[in-house]
């Protein structure tokens, strides 16, 4: 049975589609690890996401299909926290690794990455993302029942710590001890509900605010991961689009300032002390890890990022601004 027939059968069984309905089911481009479909029901469009057992990237790294249920759990948990808008889960079949969610019309909800690439670098979007993330972290910090629901360290290890940090440590033997120590700090902090993939690719810019998608890596762990992961993308975009580098720097500042001023569950300095070195390690990971950014292809760009990240990693950095400054000094000099 083809994927669309299976999806339609499931939508009818779950009651989302009427028995006599034959909706158009359209596969969306852009998904890396899953099949994402738009289904045009009589009642309006919905989105269906089903997990594949192997990620569609060049390197061979597998991920458990349980990440589908994990994503649905995150979307339900984040729905009422007042942080970022997330899709509503409409139906789920955890055993088949499939769920349906509300649909955000692309015409009014462009992907943030596309906006950034086109030079529409709006610091208020970054500010809303930073503030919303802090809110999700603050509202879930110290909550045992949420910690128990997202006891997914194995999955986080397989999807994040291994491909990004362990792989990069292997590629940089002189920095391996430092990168492994950073990974260990991340691995052992159990503070709040972490999304795990806060990338502009997974954020839609909507009229009511940013919409956060793609929560497959959700984990009860170190919130520093989310802010470092997202901030990293804004630094990389500055390298990618020199004409918009200053705007990307402003967006970076707006993101981290909103986040740090919303950090309520621990001193902001303590959070930043973990996040700044992690940011440097993730910069390097996006060049030499298992999932390098596809848009930095020129050797000069890769060398610049490598030099900045390795320089920062050999020092004791405790502030986001230290990493930002190191990058922009090099960008300004070329």
Ligand X SMILES: Nc1ncnc2c1ncn2[C@@H]1O[C@H](COP(=O)(O)OP(=O)(O)O)[C@@H](O)[C@H]1O
User: Residue 202 interacts with Mg ion (CB under 5 A)?
Assistant: yes
Measured between alpha carbons, how far is residue 45 from residues 104, 150, 202 in Å? 9, 30, 19
Site for Mg ion in 210-229 (CB under 5 A): 214
Smallest gap from Cβ 129 to Mg ion, in A, equals 15
Smallest gap from Cβ 36 to Mg ion, in A, equals 8
Nearest to ligand X of 212, 239 (CB atom): 212
User: Residue 186 interacts with Mg ion (CB under 5 A)?
Assistant: no
User: Residue 232 interacts with Mg ion (CB under 5 A)?
Assistant: no
As a whole number of angstroms, the distance between CA 138 and CA 136 comes to 6
Smallest gap from Cβ 34 to Mg ion, in A, equals 8
User: Which residues lie near ligand X (CB under 6 A)?
Assistant: 28, 30-34, 36, 47, 49, 87, 101, 103-104, 111, 201-202, 213-214, 216
Taking CA 33 as the corner, what is the angle to CA 32 and CA 38, rounded to the nearest 5 degrees?
75
Binding partner selected for residue 87 from Mg ion, ligand X, none, CB under the kind-specific 5 to 8 Å limit: ligand X
Tell me which residue has tokens 């993330």.
Answer: 133
Nearest to Mg ion of 17, 211 (CB atom): 211
Smallest gap from Cβ 3 to Mg ion, in A, equals 18
Nearest to Mg ion of 263, 291 (CB atom): 291
Tell me which residue has tokens 């990693």.
Answer: 313
Smallest gap from Cβ 306 to ligand X, in A, equals 26
Smallest gap from Cβ 163 to ligand X, in A, equals 14
Smallest gap from Cβ 232 to Mg ion, in A, equals 16
User: Residue 263 interacts with Mg ion (CB under 5 A)?
Assistant: no
Binding partner selected for residue 30 from Mg ion, ligand X, none, CB under the kind-specific 5 to 8 Å limit: ligand X
Smallest gap from Cβ 315 to Mg ion, in A, equals 33
Q: What residue is closest to ligand X based on CB?
A: 31
Nearest to ligand X of 101, 271 (CB atom): 101
Nearest to ligand X of 172, 201 (CB atom): 201
Nearest to ligand X of 47, 296 (CB atom): 47
Binding partner selected for residue 28 from ligand X, Mg ion, none, CB under the kind-specific 5 to 8 Å limit: ligand X
Report the candidate in 51, 33, 53, 54 with the shortest Cα–Cα distance to residue 98: 51
Q: What six digits make up the tokens of 186?
A: 């991340």
Nearest to Mg ion of 127, 202 (CB atom): 202
Nearest to Mg ion of 219, 320 (CB atom): 219
Task: Tell me which residues touch Mg ion (CB under 5 A).
Answer: 202, 214
């Amino acid at each position: 049975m083809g994927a669309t027939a299976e999806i339609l059968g499931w939508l009818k069984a779950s009651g989302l589609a009427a028995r006599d309905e034959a909706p158009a089911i359209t596969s969306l481009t852009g998904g890396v690890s899953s099949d994402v479909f738009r289904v045009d029901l009589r009642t309006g469009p919905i989105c269906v996401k089903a997990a594949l057992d192997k990620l569609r990237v060049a390197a061979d790294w597998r991920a458990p299909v349980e990440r589908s249920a994990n994503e649905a759990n995150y979307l339900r948990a984040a729905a009422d926290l007042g942080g970022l808008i997330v899709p509503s889960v409409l139906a789920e079949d955890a055993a088949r690794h499939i769920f349906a969610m509300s649909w955000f019309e692309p015409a009014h909800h462009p992907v943030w990455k596309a906006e950034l690439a086109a030079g529409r670098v709006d610091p208020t979007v970054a500010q809303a993302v930073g503030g919303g993330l802090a809110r999700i972290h603050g509202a879930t910090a110290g909550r045992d029942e949420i910690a128990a629901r997202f006891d997914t360290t194995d999955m986080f290890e397989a999807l994040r710590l291994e491909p990004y940090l362990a792989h990069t440590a292997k590629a940089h033997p002189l920095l391996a001890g430092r990168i492994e120590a950073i990974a260990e700090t991340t691995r052992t902090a159990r503070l709040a509900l972490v999304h795990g993939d806060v990338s502009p690719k997974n954020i839609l810019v909507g009229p009511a605010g940013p919409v956060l998608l793609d929560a497959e890596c959700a984990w009860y762990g170190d919130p520093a991961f989310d802010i470092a992961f997202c901030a990293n993308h804004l630094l990389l975009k500055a390298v990618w689009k020199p004409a918009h580098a200053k705007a990307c720097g402003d967006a970076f500042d707006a993101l981290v300032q909103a986040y740090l001023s919303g950090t309520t569950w621990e001193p902001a300095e303590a959070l930043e002390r973990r996040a700044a070195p992690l940011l440097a390690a993730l910069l390097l990971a996006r060049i030499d890890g298992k999932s390098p950014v596809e848009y930095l292809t020129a050797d000069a760009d890769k060398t610049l990022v490598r030099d900045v990240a390795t320089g920062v990693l050999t020092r004791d950095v405790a502030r986001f601004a230290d990493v930002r400054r190191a990058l922009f000094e090099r960008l300004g000099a070329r």
